[in-house]
Structure 1
Amino acid sequence: MIYKEFLPAPSLQNKIECYWQFIIPPSSTNNLQPIHHVVIPHGCPELVFIKNSTFKQNFIVIKGSSTSKFNIDIYPDTFYAGIRIKPGQMKWLSSISEADLLNQHQLCPESSWQPWQQQILESISSDINIEDLFNKSLLNEKTGYEYQPDLRINRTVDRIISDHGKTEPATLADLAFLSLRQLQRIFKKETGMSLKQFSQIRKLRHAILQLYFKQQNQQEMIIDHNYADLSHFYKSFRNIAQYKLDDFFKYIDRIDHQQMV
């Protein structure tokens, strides 16, 4: 299994955190049984394109932000490609309420597919450059719904993502030119998550990336991410991911993470 992430074109980075692809190769033994897959939350909604070559089936799924681990059965000989949308921006690609879709996902009926989405499903394969395909589709086609983004939410989300959830809530409120109570209320209404939830998720995600992919020393990670000690980090992981950290690392050892952004 191979996983990669890609940054979108600069002009799209205000709406999209990244693109990703996940390739499940055909079974060498013709075993078509599903593989139980676990995704640790990143706090962002996603538009996911799924192409299974064995069964000749294509799907588009809109997935809401997750605040805990997400379980899914994945099948051999399947290509997954996703657009990870920043919180507060889902109205750009879907008419579905972002807050209502929290911790849920919805299959998009084929009758609702837009031409650019159909083109992506026809084009995706292990040989295609997903970064170029998504950029071309999103930059050159009329893909988005008409909407007015809330710049206060945008500034808050960008700061939380860029500093990995370590900015104090009062500072976030100042950036949004709101009182903390106002920001908490608006953020919850727009995204379905609390400000605290999203910050904790982003901090935990970055800590895991540093530990697993960057091989950072545990003590350095604790200090960098403002955890009181290692036991508090483990507790935070269990509370958010609902999974044992060692078990999660054993699982992702099975996946070739070729590129992370």
Structure 2
Amino acid sequence: MYTQKYVPFQPTLTLEGQSYFGLSIELTPPVAALADAIHAYIQVKVDTPTPYPMIPDATNVLFFSSKTSMVGGTRLSILEAQLLEPGEYFGVWFKPGMFRQFFNVDLADITQAVVDDDYLSNRHFSYLGERLYDKKGFQEKVALCDSLFLKSLLGQPLPLLSGALQLIYESFGSISVEKLADKVGISCRQLNRQFSLHTGVSTKAFSQLIKAQALLRNYYLGSESILAYGLDLGFYDQSHLSKSLKKHHVSSLSSQAQSFMSDFYKPR
């Protein structure tokens, strides 16, 4: 069985993020049969309205409140969701490129977008939001989702895509598109088509997301400057690093979210 080693990093879910935004988090992996496709189920509880910023991590999310159900396409810049009402918000966090293991959609259609879950048109998931909020607790919601996603699992990921993803993860996004295509045995054009369909972005853009993720995670966990980690990951200099991170558009956030998130992006 193919196993992905990539673990997405979200500053908002760190202990600092939970404390800053007043979040109570429950997070658990799916059953083993779904582990190659779903990263985790997550429930976020808030007592007061709060922003919930999410940095680009190449994943896709189904998320639910008691009133709405939405699908998040692959992000190239930060998304600041607004948790406007006190209560519990539930999400299904898919691994990169794995959303189409359950839904026959073209992810390029919703890149950088958040759309209503009617976009999915899957009978197994009709009124899923309502059914979730009929459940008494997080684990009951998880059990319902495990059951539904097992019924809808379309099979193993495409071998070429799986191999390409793994090579990108192993290189922390530093492998060239040309070398990657050569290693998996298809043309760059064919590879880009696969990435566009399954992730919503080009092979190069996907690799850049993984590289930025590695940079921000290492910076958060380590004690070196962000430039030191950037040089290790193939950024040429501070200018190159800053230009890459600027694409996340931290400056577009509300003042509250920007105050927290900028600490992860500014040099020290």
With normalisation by structure 2, the TM-score equals: 0.71
Identity of aligned residues (%): 20
- Residue in structure 2 matching 1:81, options 90, 94, 100: 90
Q: Does 1:152 align with 2:174?
A: no
> Is the partner of 2:152 in helix, strand or coil?
coil
Instruction: State the partner residue of 1:257.
Output: none
Residues 97-119 of structure 1, C-alpha deviations (whole Å, 9 max, x = no match): 32211111222359964476654
**Root-mean-square deviation (CA), in Å?**
3.5
Instruction: State the partner residue of 1:17.
Output: 39
CA contact (8 A) 1:64 1:104 kept: yes
Superposition deviation, residue 65 in structure 1: 1.0
Instruction: State the partner residue of 1:31.
Output: none
CA contact (8 A) 2:29 2:41 kept: yes
Instruction: State the partner residue of 1:258.
Output: none
The 1:17–1:172 alpha-carbon spacing in structure 2 relative to 1, beyond 3 Å, is farther
Instruction: State the partner residue of 1:122.
Output: 134
Distance, in Å, in 1 between the alignment partners of 2:136 and 2:38 is: 19
- Residue in structure 1 matching 2:223, options 216, 223, 228: 216
> Is the partner of 2:250 in helix, strand or coil?
coil
Distance, in Å, in 1 between the alignment partners of 2:136 and 2:203 is: 35
Q: Does 1:65 align with 2:74?
A: yes
Distance, in Å, in 1 between the alignment partners of 2:166 and 2:131 is: 30
Q: Does 1:237 align with 2:250?
A: no
Q: Name the count of aligned residue pairs.
A: 235
The 1:92–1:73 alpha-carbon spacing in structure 2 relative to 1, beyond 3 Å, is same
> Is the partner of 1:203 in helix, strand or coil?
helix
CA contact (8 A) 1:64 1:101 kept: yes
The 1:86–1:158 alpha-carbon spacing in structure 2 relative to 1, beyond 3 Å, is farther
Distance, in Å, in 2 between the alignment partners of 1:228 and 1:118 is: 50
> Is the partner of 2:108 in helix, strand or coil?
coil
Instruction: State the partner residue of 1:205.
Output: 213
Q: Does 1:40 align with 2:55?
A: yes
Give unmatched runs, 5+ long, in structure 2. Answer: 1-21, 264-268
Instruction: State the partner residue of 1:54.
Output: none
Give unmatched runs, 5+ long, in structure 1. Answer: 28-33, 52-56, 255-261
Distance, in Å, in 2 between the alignment partners of 1:163 and 1:136 is: 36
Superposition deviation, residue 237 in structure 1: 0.6
Structure 1: which amino acid aligns with 2:224?
Answer: N
* Structure richer in helix, relative to its length: 2
Superposition deviation, residue 139 in structure 1: 5.2
CA contact (8 A) 1:91 1:147 kept: no
Out of 116-125 and 13-22, give the one that drifted further.
116-125
